[in-house]
Amino acid sequence: MGTVVHQHVHGIVGQHCSERGAQEIARLEALWSVFRPTSEISRLAAQAGHQPITVAPETAAILAQAQQLYALTHGALDITAGCLMRLWRSAVERGRAPTQAELTKTRALVGIADLEIGEGRRVRLRRKGQQLDLDALGKGSATLPPTSIMAWRTPCLL
């Protein structure tokens, strides 16, 4: 997900927990990273405006959580801003800020109401060009399972 995780552990149990935690982070990254074309988040973007895709239970859960957080933050957290993130990454690579026209066009694609989560974990973005970016929500969620593994195995270390 475009970030680095450092773990400091001690002993055999700590090493085992660290390895299990790293495996879980890698598994969730494979589902959620915008930098991996095969991730569910990238597949949703590729299918935006078309048919829904079936996602893993963890993906459906984090997307539902994101919808709730959008409401709780009065729109401050909107994972459908992925297209804006992509625009700004591209602008940095080109060495220039996006034009006003690019920003206006891209902003029009942002909107949590366009994220549909249906029965059977069928998910879709309504409009072509839309993209999700779980950013901090994904990173935070990916680090919770390893922390839980370590707390369960070695509660005195936390």
Half-sphere exposure of 81 (CA within 13 A, CB side): 16
Q: Where exactly are the structural domains of the chain?
A: 11-157
Series of mean pLDDT values for 10-residue runs along the chain (158 residues): 64 75 81 93 97 95 93 93 94 95 97 96 97 76 53 46
**Cα-trace Rg, the chain:** 18
CA–CA distance, 117 with 68 (Å, rounded to integer) = 13
Distance of CA 84 to the CA centre of its chain: 14
pLDDT of residue 146: 53
pLDDT of residue 158: 45
Give Cβ neighbours of residue 55 (< 8 Å, ≥ 6 apart): 31, 40, 44, 63, 121, 123
- Domain 11-157 in CATH 3.10.520.10? The answer is yes
pLDDT of residue 135: 74
CA–CA distance, 145 with 73 (Å, rounded to integer) = 24
pTM, rounded to two decimals: 0.78
Task: Specify whether the CB–CB gap between 40 and 121 falls below 8 A.
Answer: no
DSSP 47: T
Taking each helix axis from N to C terminus, what angle separates 11-32 and 135-153, rounded to the nearest 10 degrees? 150
pLDDT of residue 25: 78
